Amino acid sequence: MEVPAIDEQFQKCISQAKNSTEDTERLDNAFFCPHYPFPPPGRRAAIGMQHASNVTTFVHTTHFRSPGDAMYSLSTSVELPVYRVMLWRNNPFHIFTGYVEASISHGRPSQPHQANAAEHPMWLVNAHNRFAASRSMRMSVGWIDTFFDKFIPHFQHFVRGNVRGWGEAQKHLEADDRKGYELERAQPGA
């Protein structure tokens, strides 16, 4: 897929408030559903929302390509930056503190096979103990990293389905070993 088509669907999924009935149903059924509305004229940022299961959080979201001063991505593998989400320590509506980006990646140097894929690098404040970073401790920084590793294939499924067709999208989703967050949650001890 070409970067402009990916970008269009990226923003359709996350920023556009009104979608087709089919896309709305797909988005409503996702286990994680961020909404970062387009900012009003003359501003780069807006209050966004993130919904996962029983939790909805509010975040400060900056759109990289809104009018204003140049803004640079912190990620070194970004092909086209889309959003920066600031998780402020004094925000009582979010459990993490730091910066998160959502972009289209070129995958270099370590993941060239991920060219034109979604990336979600995070720079989060974390305690210096094994529980705060453990991937098995719910709501830890390690756990949220795994959460997004498993969300990205579903997000890419939405993008690919709208660009190349749902049969092609399903084929790629089934081949991706990162999917399955919903299945893990349903198993005892997960």
| Residues spanned by the domain of 141 | 3-183
Residue 39 lies in a domain: yes
Tell me whether residue 116 is in a domain.
Answer: yes
Q: Is residue 12 part of a domain?
A: yes
Report pLDDT digits (tens) over 72-127: 888 999 999 999 999 887 777 788 889 999 999 999 988 888 899 999 999 998 88
- Residue 189 in domain: no
Distance (Å, whole) CA 72 – CA 70: 7
Confirm whether 188 is domain-assigned.
no
Predicted pLDDT of residue 180: 53
| 159 part of a folded domain | yes
How many domains does the chain contain in total?
1
Residue 37 lies in a domain: yes
pTM for the whole thing? Answer: 0.84
Q: Is residue 69 part of a domain?
A: yes
pLDDT at 151 over 80: yes
CA-to-CA dists, residue 103 to 3, 116, 120, 132, 174, angstroms: 11, 9, 7, 26, 23
